[in-house]
Structure 1
């Protein structure tokens, strides 16, 4: 049951990744005041999504008779719904809360959905990732991302 779902999902995500790449080609190559164009992230994300989806697709053939332990043939809809809700909130709040804060909250919520507890570790990883990506993209590569919210920056 899970193998069929994984294969179908991987093919769907390959198509989404290809759409990201094709859509990114229609964006301008550079933005005013930025060395990094708006096409870089969608194109990179599309390529990464295709590569990860291909890996998932071929992994389903690797162990054809082996099922997960404790598998009852059903998907974990609560976690899926939680991650979907977190992703939608992330997209809606990105401009309002800024990149660093909204990404931190999204990652923290995702880590807690995957594995409850370990709050400190989840917070540390989420903080290092969101701050690190912001520093690399905005500081080193001179790209632009939504900054801190007005009420937070002071």
Structure 2
């Protein structure tokens, strides 16, 4: 943990969060066929980003001498490349394979990249999150997400 970098990063993300909040106010509040408007997600993303940046700022102020105690760790470029590649593929193929399958695969690969030993738990969590979020957003909030691919429902 580098206290100086954390402080500057917290200001940067506070600016990003506030920008999302302000920008979301200019987006239409309702969408055709959906109870949830397109302004909801950017607004709450901005709120969460702003709150987390404030927390990061105060945690960087509280950290005393921890920077010297921690050894410099080498960066893990392989894990970074896997996560970056998975994120790119998720964005490219989300419409084609659907939200539930795409999110399940994205989370599973991400969890396995972080910790390969817990694959049953990773599978269960990935499945529960992807199906749960889809159900809540589409069925309860009446939003729209890409469904299952057409080749699967034949």
Displacement of 1:123 after TM fit? Answer: 1.0
Cα separation, partners in 2 of 1:115 and 1:149, compared to 1, 3 Å: same
Hey, what does 1:125 align to over in structure 2? 125
Q: Is the 8 A contact 2:99 2:134 kept in 1?
A: yes
Q: Is the 8 A contact 2:3 2:63 kept in 1?
A: no
Q: Is the 8 A contact 1:2 1:73 kept in 2?
A: no
Report which of the two structures shows the higher radius of gyration computed on alpha carbons: 2
- Measured in 1, the distance between the counterparts of 2:86 and 2:69 equals 28
* Residues 6-51 of structure 1: per-residue CA shift (max 9 Å, x gap): 3333333222222322332222111111111111112111211221
Matched, 1:144 2:134: no
Cα RMSD after superposing both structures: 2.3
- Measured in 2, the distance between the counterparts of 1:75 and 1:6 equals 17
Hey, what does 2:47 align to over in structure 1? 47
Structure 1 unaligned residues grouped into runs of 5+: none
Cα separation, partners in 2 of 1:147 and 1:29, compared to 1, 3 Å: same
Displacement of 1:124 after TM fit? Answer: 0.7
Structure 2 length as normaliser, TM-score? 0.85
Cα separation, partners in 2 of 1:76 and 1:56, compared to 1, 3 Å: farther
- Measured in 2, the distance between the counterparts of 1:150 and 1:86 equals 23
1:108-123 equivalences in 2 (<5 Å)? 108-123=108-123
Q: Is the 8 A contact 1:83 1:110 kept in 2?
A: yes
Hey, what does 2:105 align to over in structure 1? 105
Displacement of 1:118 after TM fit? Answer: 0.9
Structure 2 unaligned residues grouped into runs of 5+: none
